[in-house]
């Protein structure tokens, strides 16, 4: 009996040691989750509200958005290096260093925005390369021509978001993002349906609405930063010191750390875009069903990326302070919260799979398919959440190159070829290749690839933490 009490007391002491980290994780992550959800909710409501136009419009908007996000994530991914760099500087006791890091991120983002705008404009007018139907090609081209204008506003906003997040001040970006989402929803309703004297733009309405919301969000967070007292003190310190770093050295540091992060996100999102493209090869209605399920899964994914961002900041703080126990406990606290959240999300998808698709469409065929895919999404998002958190924890200790390679192998060597083989049945050199499972095959391949990525990233984090030596 005494052994049981001793064990119980040890468990209580362990929980007490972790309770501080869990509390900190929740304090950091909940505003980030709200902000991240706000970002994806723009795409969610674009898809939801355009459903009144028809299933082809849902597929077209979803397809165009997936192409846009596949490319833009390269730029946004680079800015994700800013928050862990600021968190590490804060852990080292050099919090004002965050201001020049942010300025360097803005300068770098200006160049990135020009490159990405040129690339997206080129893709918009060559959308036929993706083998979709004529109506999807026409709508997607027009949609992208409008939404591409939002690229610099989106990237600059994310730089300032990463600045505040890295300082552990996650409320500014959350507040402005949620206001931006509300604005986007209102403008969608006005522009899709042409009410209150606004033009009736149909499937192109969400493009103008999202562009307007992103312009507002950048103006809002820039105004917040300029009025912020701590940022004012940082500016005063920065103006009164002699800069000793080499020209563009901070920009180069951000780029070297951020580019592998951008590539990691690119490999993942490009893989999901390939899945949308493959679903379109089956039929536009299959694409619509696939898009409904993927947008639902992306909502839960963005919630988990909040834990990922919080983990990156917490681990970065501990890493900068040379606190090995803090690094380990921060990671474990984030993983525990992720597990709990993903179980809840999985249960929601399983219990309400027959009800959720009705938000998007009333077509029986699309409803049946998307309801079935939400069962796959319940398992899919478990692995997707853990790989996102694993990558975030590794960013906190400046490990970005190997995770990028893991993403490439998991998604493009394993997941996409596997999805194609499971989804389609074709003949090559007289031999039948593939199983012909259709959408089920695509999603089975997704689950397998994400599970591989999650296992490898978490294994690497645990291995690196064990070998950390700050002496």
Alpha helix (H) ranges present in 352-438? 364-396, 401-408, 416-423
> How many residues would you count in the chain?
471
- List pLDDT tens digits, range 257-316: 878 878 887 887 778 777 777 777 777 677 777 777 777 777 777 778 888 888 888 888
pLDDT in tens, the chain (471 residues): 444 445 444 444 555 567 788 887 777 777 777 777 666 677 777 777 776 666 667 667 777 877 887 788 888 888 888 888 888 887 777 888 888 888 888 888 899 999 999 988 888 787 777 766 677 777 778 888 888 899 999 999 989 988 888 887 878 888 898 899 889 888 988 887 778 877 787 777 888 888 999 999 999 999 998 888 888 887 777 766 555 555 567 788 888 887 887 888 788 777 877 777 777 777 767 777 777 777 777 777 777 888 888 888 888 888 877 888 888 888 888 888 888 888 888 888 888 777 777 776 667 777 777 787 788 888 888 888 888 889 889 988 888 888 889 988 998 888 888 887 877 766 555 556 666 667 778 888 888 888 999 999 999 988 988 887 766
Counting Cα atoms < 13 Å in the Cβ hemisphere of 174 gives 15
pTM: 0.73
Answer yes or no: are the C-beta atoms of 191 and 227 closer than 8 Å.
Answer: no
**pLDDT value, residue 242:** 53
What 3-state DSSP class applies to 426? Answer: strand
Who contacts 287 (Cβ-Cβ below 8 Å, separation ≥6)?
Answer: 59, 62, 63, 132, 136, 276, 279, 280
Q: Give the integer Cα–Cα distance in Å for 391 and 377.
A: 21
**pLDDT value, residue 129:** 72
Answer yes or no: are the C-beta atoms of 262 and 78 closer than 8 Å.
Answer: yes
**pLDDT value, residue 3:** 45
Task: For the chain, report the end-to-end CA distance as a whole number of angstroms.
Answer: 42
**pLDDT value, residue 53:** 65
Q: Give the integer Cα–Cα distance in Å for 290 and 369.
A: 8
- CA distances to 22, 236, 298, 360, 399 from 179, in Å: 28, 30, 20, 23, 34
């Amino acid at each position: 009996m005494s052994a049981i009490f001793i064990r119980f007391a040890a468990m209580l002491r362990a929980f007490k040691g972790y309770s501080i980290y869990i509390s900190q994780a929740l304090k950091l992550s909940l505003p980030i989750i709200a902000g991240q959800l706000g970002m994806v909710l723009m795409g969610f409501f674009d898809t939801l509200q355009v459903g009144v136009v028809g299933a082809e419009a849902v597929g077209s908007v979803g397809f165009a958005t997936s192409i846009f996000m596949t490319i833009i994530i390269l730029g946004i991914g680079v800015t994700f290096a800013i928050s862990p760099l600021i968190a590490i500087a804060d852990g080292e006791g050099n919090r004002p260093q965050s201001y020049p890091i942010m300025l360097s991120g803005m300068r770098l983002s200006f160049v990135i925005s020009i490159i990405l705008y040129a690339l997206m404009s080129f893709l918009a007018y060559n959308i036929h390369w993706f083998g979709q139907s004529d109506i999807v090609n026409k709508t997607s081209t027009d949609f992208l021509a409008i939404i591409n204008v939002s690229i610099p506003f989106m990237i600059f906003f994310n730089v300032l978001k990463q600045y505040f997040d890295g300082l552990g001040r996650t409320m500014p970006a959350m507040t402005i993002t949620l206001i931006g989402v509300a604005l986007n929803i209102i403008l969608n309703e006005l522009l899709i349906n042409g009410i209150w004297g606004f033009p009736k733009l149909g499937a192109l309405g969400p493009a103008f609405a999202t562009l307007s919301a992103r312009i507002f969000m950048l103006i809002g967070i820039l105004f917040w930063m300029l009025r912020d007292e701590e940022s004012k003190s940082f500016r005063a310190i920065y103006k009164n010191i002699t800069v000793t770093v080499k020209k563009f050295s901070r920009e180069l540091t951000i780029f070297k750390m951020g580019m592998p992060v951008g590539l990691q996100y690119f490999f993942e999102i490009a893989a999901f875009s390939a899945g949308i493209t493959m679903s379109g090869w089956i039929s536009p209605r299959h694409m619509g069903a696939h898009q409904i399920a993927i947008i639902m899964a992306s909502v839960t994914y963005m919630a988990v990326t909040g834990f990922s961002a919080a983990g990156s900041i917490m681990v970065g703080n501990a890493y900068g302070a040379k606190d090995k126990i803090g690094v380990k406990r921060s990671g474990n606290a984030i993983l525990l919260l992720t597990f709990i959240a993903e179980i809840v999300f999985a249960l929601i998808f399983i219990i309400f799979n027959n009800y959720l698709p009705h938000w998007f469409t009333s077509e029986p065929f699309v409803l049946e398919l998307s309801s079935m895919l939400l069962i796959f999404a319940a398992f899919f998002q478990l692995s997707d959440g853990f790989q996102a958190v694993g990558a975030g924890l590794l960013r906190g200790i400046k490990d970005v190159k190997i995770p990028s390679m893991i993403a490439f192998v998991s998604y493009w060597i394993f997941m996409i070829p596997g999805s194609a083989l499971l989804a389609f049945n074709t003949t090559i050199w007289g031999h039948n290749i593939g199983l012909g499972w259709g959408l089920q095959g695509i999603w089975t391949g997704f689950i397998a690839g994400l599970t591989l990525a999650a296992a490898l990233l978490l294994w690497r984090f645990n291995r690196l933490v064990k070998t950390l030596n700050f002496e």
